[in-house]
Chain A
Amino acid sequence: MDERPSATADLLSAVFWMFFGGAIVYGAWTMDRLEYMNINPYTVPGLVPGILGVCIAFMGALLLIRAVRAGAPKLGDIVAERPGRRVEIVRVLVAAGLCLVYAAGFVGHGLPFWLVTAGFVTAFIFVFQFPARRADDTLLRGLFVALLCGAATAAAVTLVFQEIFLVRLP
């Protein structure tokens, strides 16, 4: 949070909140009122989500007004390319991709937990150290370090969670 997002970004998120709040209000309004169960009308399930939806949409509107006063939408905000932006996006996508593949794709789908974990940690370290290692010509060493960390993490996590905290690992 070192840099503030542009007014245009605020405008977009404000629009999102207004839609989100509106969708909640709609969902709450059309929600079953459970009249056939003879419930007390003050306890209808949609009451609180409805109020929250109104609040969210209202605050979204405030944010919208603020963003417009600050000059949004500005074409420059969208077009302006900060140097290094692209590298950042690639890095985030790679990190998120590795994490998702590990946690959603492999964990709990048959393979033993320690193996998947060792593989994930090794791959993560190796991938992110790859550019620097290649520049220094220490790729093999990098792979070794990554493998070692992966194995150590897998062993420690399995031991601690399975034996001490008695968690049945996925």
Chain B
Amino acid sequence: MLEGLALFSRSIANMMDPLTLLYVGMATLLGLVIGALPGLTATMGVALLTTLTLKMSPDMAILVLICTYVGAIYGGSRSAILLNIPGTPANAAACLDGHALARQGLAGRAMGISTTGSVMGTLIGMVFLAMFTPLLGEMALKFGAYEFFWLAVFGVVVSGNLTGNDPLKGWLAGFAGLFIATIGQDAIHAYERFSFGNRDLAGGIQLIPALVGAFGFAEVLTVMKDAVGRPAIHSFDSVVPRLRDVLVYWRTIIRSGLIGTFMGIIPGVGEDVGSWSSYAAARAVSKERDKFGKGSVEGLLAAETGDNACVPGAIIPVLALAVPGSAPAAVLLAAMIIHGVQPGPLIMVQNPGFVYDVVAMMLFATIGILFYGIFLVRPLIKVLQVPRDIIMPIVFVLCTIGSFAIAQRLFDIWTMLAFGLIGFVMRQLNYPMAPFVLGIVLGDLLDKNLRRGLVLSDGDLTPFFTRPISAVMVAIIVFSIMMNFASARAALRSGLARFGAALGRRGI
């Protein structure tokens, strides 16, 4: 441990020079902008900068990439709070309470909370990255086909349960999303499903255009619908993160940080699931449960801590196994390899200093988001005062170019438009968008892992229920579905009472 601390301080000392700080500042800002623009995601930002930083020294290049990654996940909450459009898929949960707070004139407060959450989340994840990388990396190997299948079901059920006020509609939207993900060539036989001979559809519905349409375009239409515009929101509250939030909600922060880090470690599941699970856990045990979705400080804090804790979490298996824990982490891994750093099981033996370099980079990125969280937020709030007639066409232009930017093909713009219209109609009918989009994210995971699991077990269903992690997940899923029924809640309560009474009789 002491040796680790020494390596860590050496890493910090090595990086402490004005040029480094300049890079940190620029990269974090760029990440923030990329994150805040709907359509541009952390994955795209990191991939773009991988090419642009190839000529830099490996340390500098990786520092820039990590700052961009952290900045983008943090930046996505800006548009979620101000416009009700998540900047990256990770910030959908932040819309619920963040935008509700902004509507109440507390936009500054909301951004302060998200800064607190992001900083604390990154720090918690960072501690795990520094101390348990080899150990936790092995955990990624515990997740096989059966567990991934349940994880996908879990994501949709939990998100459907939480958003809106109608779980049945949430699940319908979620399952529709899962189905959307199966359109196009299937990942096992490259067989074209539901493509009706269309070559573009055969490539599948891309997540980002669907997300930008369902949240962005649909929001533009929803805002423009009302004949009388919402009054401009004036927000003069402080944007500075409050230490009090940390003290009051320390349990939420630590819990969300742990969940986020854990979700980050699991390969193929990223910030979005991290943020939803933290949010779900916070709501399940919160004292102010009724306020969730209506502007709960705790809810926003949980969501934002959860997604940022994923970032160091996703880097843990990158370093320990050369297995990326999320999509941006996959690009980061590629960048490390290109720069001649080979992460993997041998890294602790061959290059232990590198792990601490990464931890130090994480720390710099955290300082970067804290800096911008304090100094850059006030001008952003002005967005709320721009009349909707002016801001909405600009948002739509960004939606269009954002859908196009990633793969640079027109089909993605059409996807965005289609999902915007579908999304608008669904919203009018009280179907939440978040499980729908999460379904599109997780559908592929569900599809492949169910079939892969069946191949591995030769058609036997028992491993889906008997493997320890699977069994726990099934229990959580069944529990969260059952809790929606009053009769099940009553049964649980009486069961618990009987159990308590039985214990009492035995004098325990």
Contacts and interface: CB of A to CB of B under 8 A. Distances in A.
Answer whether A and B touch in the complex at a CB cut-off of 8 Å: yes
Interface of A: 1, 4-5, 9-10, 13, 17, 20, 24, 27, 31-32, 34, 37, 39-40, 42-43, 45-49, 51-53, 55-56, 59-60, 62-63, 66, 84, 87-88, 91-92, 95-96, 98-100, 102-104, 107-108, 117, 120-121, 124-125, 128-129, 145, 149, 153, 157, 161, 165-170
Nearest to B410: A108
Interface size class of B (residues with CB under 8 A): 35 or more
B17 interface: no
13 contacts: A1-B427, A39-B189, A42-B458, A45-B193, A52-B175, A53-B179, A56-B172, A59-B171, A95-B225, A103-B416, A107-B400, A121-B394, A121-B397
Given A34-B189, A56-B175, A99 B48 contact: no
Q: Is the interface of A mostly helix, strand, loop or mixed?
A: helix
A128 B220 CA distance: 13
B141 interface: no
A27 B48 CA distance: 40
A125 B387 CA distance: 10
Nearest to B186: A45
A20 B422 CA distance: 14
Given A56-B175, A91-B224, A92-B221, A5 B428 contact: yes
B74 interface: no
A95 B179 contact: no
Given A9-B429, A95-B224, A170-B404, A153 B394 contact: yes
B390 A120 contact: no
A88 B217 contact: no
A56 B179 contact: yes
B135 interface: no
Contacts of B172: 17, 56, 59-60, 63
Given A59-B171, A169-B401, A91 B227 contact: yes
Nearest to B398: A157
A42 B455 contact: yes
B477 interface: no
Nearest to B193: A45
Given A128-B389, A170-B410, 19 more contacts: A17-B172, A20-B176, A27-B194, A31-B193, A34-B191, A39-B189, A45-B189, A48-B446, A48-B450, A49-B193, A53-B179, A56-B172, A59-B172, A103-B416, A107-B413, A157-B397, A157-B398, A161-B405, A166-B48
Contacts of B175: 52, 55-56, 59
B47 to A, nearest CB: 11
Contacts of A40: 455
Contacts of B225: 88, 91-92, 95
A48 B182 contact: yes
Given A103-B416, A128-B224, A165 B48 contact: yes
B450 A87 contact: no
B179 A49 contact: yes
Contacts of B189: 34, 37, 39, 43, 45
A29 to B, nearest CB: 13
A52 B179 contact: yes
Nearest to A86: B227
Contacts of B269: none
A47 B308 CA distance: 36
Nearest to A41: B459
Contacts of A98: 393
B446 A43 contact: no
A63 to B, nearest CB: 6
B245 to A, nearest CB: 28
A66 B168 contact: yes
B421 interface: yes
Contacts of B427: 1
